[in-house]
Structure 1
Amino acid sequence: MRISIIVPVYNMAGDNKLRFCMDSLTSQHLEDYEIIAVDDCSTDNSLEILREYEDKYPGLVKVIHSEINKHQGGAKNLGIREASGDWIGFIDADDWIDPDMYRLMLEKADTTGADMVGCDLTLVSEHTYQVSDNVEKNGNPSMSGVLDHDKKKQLILDGGRLVVKIYKRANVIDNKLFFPENIFYEDNAMSNSFLLTASHYEYIEKPWYYYYQHQGSTVHSFSEKMCQDRMEAGRIMLGEARRLGFFNEFRQEIEFIFTQLFYVNTLFTYMPCVKPARMSFVKELTKEMKETFPEFENNSYYVDRVGGEEKKLIRLACKSTALFYAYYRLLWGYRGLRKRLKK
């Protein structure tokens, strides 16, 4: 078996999302592959749709039904354990891919000896195979080749998403690359583990993955629980770096990625999006950040890559949670008033 494509599914029946995804997978220009669709205890008719595909494509589509909702991480783990392909790929059930994507990625692996291959994605807001103007690069050509220290640094900083890559199954199993369950942001927790345990990466500069943006997407909804999950993903990422033995070699890069994930993204999602935003949450978040990496504001990547306003606000939060909270509220209240007056 060449490749196992793992699809975690939870309530994706509406808007033709699941069928469009499955049609793109069953139409791959490839032989000897399997699609493992894992229904994560859906409450709509997603499971019935998957069973239809399993009946229509025997031997190609395998459906697993989880009696307990474990989030995408748990669904992916079920798929990994059932996979029989030499390679593993992941796709979200509301996205779809070019019909040549996996064939061409496997051909690249065959000709180069790579054990990880990736491509770009295009962000779309309708079901189409037309590449949009919004293409997200998930690497650059300089990352391709045998992964030395410098290439791995690039992968940590700009390696892109897990779903646009394929991985040798032996590497996944041997390194126990299983996802955290029952939380969001499971990919963020495991991204470095997948990237840095590879030995040869090939990047293909083609937008073959269609990332569907819609109101039901995780990126369009936030809660305090999701912010807490993002923090937990950061903790797991650090634990993985230590478990797999690459924390010391890439401390600066990992510190920065942790700072972005655990602190910067969480803080500036929590404050405008979670109602009510509790000052005690910000205080605990900042306290743990400072305890984990006391000098994070001096990290060279932080200095170069974090915006000036964000750094100013973070500096204030580290000095006084109360002052940060009050200043932030006044600032955004003022900006909101100006916006209303301009209408």
Structure 2
Amino acid sequence: MESVFASQVSVSVVVPVFNTEQYLWECLTSLENQQLSSLEVIVVIDASPDKSYQLATRFAQQSHLAIRIVNLDKNVGLAQARNIGMSHAKGQYLGFLDSDDYVDENMYQHLFNEASQQQADWVSCGFSKFSAHGVECYAHQNISENTSVCNKLFRREFIFEHQIVFPQGELFEDEIFSYMAELFADTVVHIEQAYYFYRHNPQGICRRAGADKHRLYARMSSIGDFMQRMEQSKLLPKAAPLCLEMLCRHAYLQLRTQVSWFDLLCYWRFTQHLIEKYQLNNSDSQTQDNYFVSSFSKWQSREWALWLIRIRAGRANYAVE
């Protein structure tokens, strides 16, 4: 096995695993079926209480894939599990696959070829979201709509050179990682084909019923840390238009969530605080046609109008909690 890992690897795919025993075999099979031959898979078992470790071991024993299994004694969370997986990677490019999802057999071959030909720092493809209710396909190029790391390949040297890691202990770790990669990158490639299949899991940490309030404050923490890093890394002048769009978009989308009126106002005022603190209004001229920026600018000082918008959005039951 070690001789396989020592040879040239085109793509390393990190698969963090926690409580996904029922989906893991399908996930790993989709990697085994990849057309790209120089592929390594790093499975990080994040102290999963189910039989995921045994299943992954059995799969590795019968598979032709170069599979490395990292079995953690203590649960560290998705972000740190991915960071640990990255530390074991040897590929030219890094990919991430959630263990309850799967990928098309052509995904990594196509993405690697495009990235290599154009010497891209990272490349993304479209993805399909599926559930019992059907399938929806997405092919966003704008980074604010394309924040998942799972439909992408990142040049490994680029990631390590700029010390881009997943923020430990925070939700929305994909978003922070993707924004950092966008801002540091010289060349980015987008492919419209939907090669990644994302399972809509209502039990996921960001989708469980009643989780909106937790998500709101987790997003505040993540975005606050992100803005601080932008300032420290001297990227803020370049990043200002993108940051303004991100902040306004997230604030406006909170109108659709099931949080109290008090929590909603806290988020909008927090957003305004960050815009003023980092002087992002100076980039208004570059984002004046953006829907979310113009909407936030229009409604931020008219809280009574926000109340009406919220009622029309069908969140009246949460308005006075």
With the shorter chain as reference, the TM-score category is 0.7 to 0.9
Alignment partners' CA distance in 1, 2:305 and 2:183: 37
Matched, 1:213 2:215: no
Matched, 1:112 2:112: no
Alignment partners' CA distance in 1, 2:264 and 2:120: 43
Q: Number of residue pairs matched?
A: 303
Task: Report the CA distance between 1:331 and its aligned residue.
Answer: 5.8
Which residue identity is paired with 1:264? Answer: Y
Task: Report the CA distance between 1:133 and its aligned residue.
Answer: 6.1
Match for residue 168 of structure 1 among 155, 160, 169: 155
Distance 1:315-1:35 versus aligned 2 partners, 3 A rule? same
Contact persistence 2:10–2:38 (CA under 8 A): yes
Match for residue 87 of structure 1 among 89, 93, 107: 93
Corresponding position of 2:178 = 191
Which residue identity is paired with 1:193? Answer: M
| Residues 100-249 of structure 1 mapped to structure 2, 5 A cutoff | 100-125=106-131, 134-139=136-141, 155-157=142-144, 159-221=146-208, 222-249=211-238
Alignment partners' CA distance in 2, 1:48 and 1:278: 47
Q: Give the structure-1-normalised TM-score.
A: 0.76
Match for residue 6 of structure 1 among 14, 36, 45: 14
Task: Report the CA distance between 1:303 and its aligned residue.
Answer: 6.2
Matched, 1:316 2:302: yes
Aligned-residue RMSD, C-alpha: 3.2
SS at match of 2:235: coil
Task: Report the CA distance between 1:56 and its aligned residue.
Answer: 2.5
Which residue identity is paired with 1:233? Answer: S
SS at match of 2:267: helix
Q: Is there any run of 5+ residues in structure 2 with no aligned partner, and where?
A: 1-8
Corresponding position of 1:288 = 270
Corresponding position of 2:5 = none
Alignment partners' CA distance in 2, 1:198 and 1:326: 40
Task: Report the CA distance between 1:4 and its aligned residue.
Answer: 0.6
Alignment partners' CA distance in 2, 1:114 and 1:255: 26
Corresponding position of 1:39 = 45
Query: Quick one: percent identity of the two aligned structures?
Result: 20
SS at match of 1:89: strand
Corresponding position of 1:145 = none
Q: Is there any run of 5+ residues in structure 1 with no aligned partner, and where?
A: 140-154, 318-322, 337-343
Distance 1:311-1:49 versus aligned 2 partners, 3 A rule? farther
Distance 1:59-1:133 versus aligned 2 partners, 3 A rule? closer
Which residue identity is paired with 2:231? Answer: R
Corresponding position of 2:27 = 21
SS at match of 2:49: coil
Matched, 1:264 2:270: no
Task: Report the CA distance between 1:89 and its aligned residue.
Answer: 0.5
Task: Report the CA distance between 1:84 and its aligned residue.
Answer: 1.1
Deviates more, 1:87-96 or 1:108-117: 108-117
SS at match of 2:163: coil
Corresponding position of 1:66 = 72
Task: Report the CA distance between 1:10 and its aligned residue.
Answer: 1.6
